[in-house]
Amino acid sequence: EVQLVESGGGLVQPGSSLKLSCVASGFTFSSYNMHWIRQAPKKGLEWIALIYYDSSNKYYADSVKGRFTISRDNSKNTLYLEMNSLRSEDTAMYYCAKAATGAWYFDYWGQGVMVTVSS
């Protein structure tokens, strides 16, 4: 059974940093591309980052480019999202998601971790 478990969220002040983790199990993590997607309170879904299975390529939404960094450690079956210069508009539930085989859509999602940016 595929499982994705996010952690590392919390309440932080504007301008600060936070690093999210997503531990994967139930599939060969090192063979799959992975995403981060977020959802602001009572709002829709926003894709924010993609990393290839071997970390060879990374893509970001314009809203986070230059501030957020996606990375992975295949030896630990873990996906990361390092978030710097956080703003109030980054307040959201953050989901990690597995990319489907041979395509970019999201076939499995984690339960999400909440990040609140407020003074």
CB of 4 to other proteins, least distance (A): 9
Name the one range near other proteins by CB under 8 A: 12-20, 23-31, 74-82, 108-116. 108-116
What is the DSSP-derived secondary structure letter of residue 44? -
According to the binding rule CB under 8 A, does residue 114 interact with other proteins? no
Report the amino acid identity of residue 6.
Answer: E
According to the binding rule CB under 8 A, does residue 108 interact with other proteins? yes
| CA distance linking residue 46 with residue 69, whole number of Å | 16
Beta partners for residue 21, in sequence order: 7, 80
Candidate list 8, 23, 67, 112; residue touching other proteins; CB under 8 A: 112
Contact 99, 35 (CB under 8 A): yes
- State phi, psi for 40 to the nearest 5 degrees: -65, 155
| CA distance linking residue 10 with residue 54, whole number of Å | 29
Residues 56-95, one symbol each (x = binds other proteins by CB under 8 A, - = not), give ---x-xx--------------------------------x
Residues 22-41, one symbol each (x = binds other proteins by CB under 8 A, - = not), give -------------x------
